[in-house]
């Protein structure tokens, strides 16, 4: 993979920054921006509404983007709902299923809030039991625990394929098998997996999978929700309105078939077209190459951080995760570490509780949160070395201060 060539697609990197926060949001390459601008410059019109040429082309381009987005995860176009982000996708499922008292939902304490809070609301609103799976120190949930929690009253199992804090990859295929053995649905939070791994919904065996475009080189306000064709009519749309119906009279309405029944109102046309271009962009480079590149960077980060005294690295070894590494230095506030990295080394990372309060507080025992470094296809070994050097400086200063020595800033 020619990383230097790839970096030419990201002019923002010419400013000299080292961007290591792609788990939060990725940078957007020029080919994606150009495709979006093509829509706004050449055929800016609403979709599915007009018979004139601009509207017809906009509709065709949107549906072509849907095919690309669906193909990216081996779904059918009619199974791909265009949403704003992973959060909207998960909420669509949580509020669209028919819940009864006595049902239960199984999830893990390692989840992003978007895949945790929604189930707390379902439990409170519908009298559903929420069952929580607890991981080991690496963030791995033993399958034996899943088999204990899932039973014939389980309505849905909802788990992130990759943790946004630890980067841990979970065996979703096995989770799906257990869920389906008990007649339950399987939902996968793919926010951190779809941009970095070759994700195949047929292989995963899931009923639902949600992901965000802004984490995979696409624009903000774009994303996908896969709903398996066979269960689509078992989910009530989150919104009703124009574009989602076939007919309405004074007493009733009839919804569109398949994905479009979930897309009431004018969609984010330019953003969806941009996400289709992002899917093309990543496929052309190759997800297997991106995964291998990130693995090499993550291995170097992991080994270097593990060698620093009084620095705690959270999560599993690199072979068990994607390009996410979280750490703490002594009792330093993680925000102070992140601010130092930005102000002194132009290295941009995330810090804090990372939208995963239960995991940080209950599992990692880090009430202030942690520092998270996350890589992507445009990061280089030089980026990583600059980050490591800056962290070593912080840790050295902290350790010297703890020992009563003199602290110098380089």
Write down the mean pLDDT value for the chain: 96
Expressed as residue numbers, the domain containing 258 is 30-284
Tell me if 407 is assigned to some domain.
no
| Model pLDDT for residues 278-293, shown as the tens digit of each residue | 999 999 999 999 999 9
Question: What is the CATH classification number for the domain harbouring 364?
Answer: 3.90.1150.10
Task: Tell me how many domains the chain contains.
Answer: 2
Tell me if 137 is assigned to some domain.
yes
- Residue 189 pLDDT class (50, 70, 90 cuts): very high
Instruction: State what percent of residues in the chain have pLDDT above 70.
Output: 98
- Residue 408 pLDDT class (50, 70, 90 cuts): very low
Residue 210 backbone phi and psi in degrees, to 5: -120, 145
Tell me if 102 is assigned to some domain.
yes
Residue 5 backbone phi and psi in degrees, to 5: -65, -45
Taking the CA atoms of 202, 203, 209 and 211 in sequence, report the sign of the dihedral they define: negative
Rounded Cα distance between 62 and 59, Å, is 5
Question: What is the CATH classification number for the domain harbouring 125?
Answer: 3.40.640.10
pLDDT at 409: 39
**Structure tokens of 13?**
């990197």
The residue from 284, 312, 341 where one domain ends is 284
Tell me if 96 is assigned to some domain.
yes
pLDDT at 139: 86
245, 255 Cβ separation under 8 angstroms:
yes
CA distances from 299 to 37, 254, 304 (A): 38, 54, 8
Catalogue the active-site residues: 355
Residue 401 pLDDT more than 90? no
Instruction: State what percent of residues in the chain have pLDDT above 90.
Output: 94
Tell me if 409 is assigned to some domain.
no
176-210 exposure pattern, b = at least 16 Cβ within 10 A, e = fewer: bebbbeeebbbbbbbbbbbbbbbbebeebbbbbbb
pLDDT at 104: 98
- Residue 406 pLDDT class (50, 70, 90 cuts): very low
Asked if 90 and 224 sit in the same domain, the reply is: yes
Asked if 303 and 365 sit in the same domain, the reply is: yes
243, 63 Cβ separation under 8 angstroms:
no
Please give the average per-residue pLDDT across 25-36, as a whole number.
Answer: 98
Structural element, H or E, at residue 314: strand 311-314
Asked if 300 and 268 sit in the same domain, the reply is: no
**Structure tokens of 394?**
């912080």
Asked if 224 and 125 sit in the same domain, the reply is: yes
Write the DSSP string, 57-126.
HHHHHHHHHHHHHHHHTT--GGGEEEESSHHHHHHHHHHHS---TT-EEEEETT--GGGTHHHHHHHHHH
11, 20 Cβ separation under 8 angstroms:
no
Please give the average per-residue pLDDT across 19-27, as a whole number.
Answer: 98
pLDDT at 404: 63
pTM of the full predicted structure? Answer: 0.96
Tell me if 244 is assigned to some domain.
yes
């Amino acid at each position: 993979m020619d990383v230097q060539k790839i970096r030419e697609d990201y002019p923002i990197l010419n400013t000299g920054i080292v961007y290591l926060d792609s788990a939060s949001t990725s940078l957007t390459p020029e080919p994606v921006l150009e495709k979006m601008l093509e829509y706004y410059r050449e055929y800016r019109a609403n979709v599915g509404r007009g018979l004139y040429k601009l509207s017809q082309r906009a509709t065709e381009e949107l549906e072509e983007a849907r095919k690309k987005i669906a193909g990216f995860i081996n779904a059918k176009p009619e199974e791909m709902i265009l949403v704003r982000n992973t959060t909207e996708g998960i909420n669509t499922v949580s509020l669209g299923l028919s819940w009864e008292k006595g049902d239960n939902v199984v999830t893990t304490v390692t989840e992003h809030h978007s895949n945790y809070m929604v189930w707390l609301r379902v439990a409170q609103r519908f009298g559903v039991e929420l069952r929580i799976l607890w991981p080991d120190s690496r963030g791995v949930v033993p399958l034996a625990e899943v088999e204990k929690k899932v039973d014939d009253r389980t309505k849905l199992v909802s788990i992130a394929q990759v943790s946004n804090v630890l980067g841990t990859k979970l065996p979703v295929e096995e989770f799906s098998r257990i869920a389906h053995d008990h007649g339950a649905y399987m939902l996968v939070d793919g926010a951190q997996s779809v941009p970095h791994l070759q994700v195949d919904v047929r292989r995963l065996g899931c009923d639902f999978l949600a992901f965000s475009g802004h984490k995979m080189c696409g624009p903000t306000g774009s994303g996908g929700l896969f709903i398996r064709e066979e269960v689509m009519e078992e989910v009530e749309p989150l919104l009703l309105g124009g574009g989602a119906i076939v007919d309405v009279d004074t007493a009733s309405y009839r919804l569109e078939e398949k994905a479009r029944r979930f897309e009431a109102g004018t969609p984010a046309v330019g953003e969806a077209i941009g996400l289709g271009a992002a899917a093309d962009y990543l496929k052309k480079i190759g997800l297997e190459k991106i995964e291998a590149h990130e693995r090499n960077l993550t291995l170097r980060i992991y080994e270097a951080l593990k060698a620093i005294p009084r620095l705690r690295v959270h999560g599993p070894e690199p072979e068990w995760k994607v390009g996410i590494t979280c750490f703490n230095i002594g009792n330093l506030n993680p925000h102070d570490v992140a601010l130092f990295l930005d102000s002194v080394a132009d290295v941009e990372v995330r810090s804090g509780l990372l939208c995963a309060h239960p995991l940080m507080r209950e599992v990692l025992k880090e009430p202030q949160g942690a520092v998270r470094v996350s890589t992507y296809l445009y990061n280089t070994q030089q980026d990583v070395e600059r980050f490591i050097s800056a962290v070593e400086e912080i840790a050295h200063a902290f350790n010297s201060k703890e020992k009563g020595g003199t602290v110098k800033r380089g």
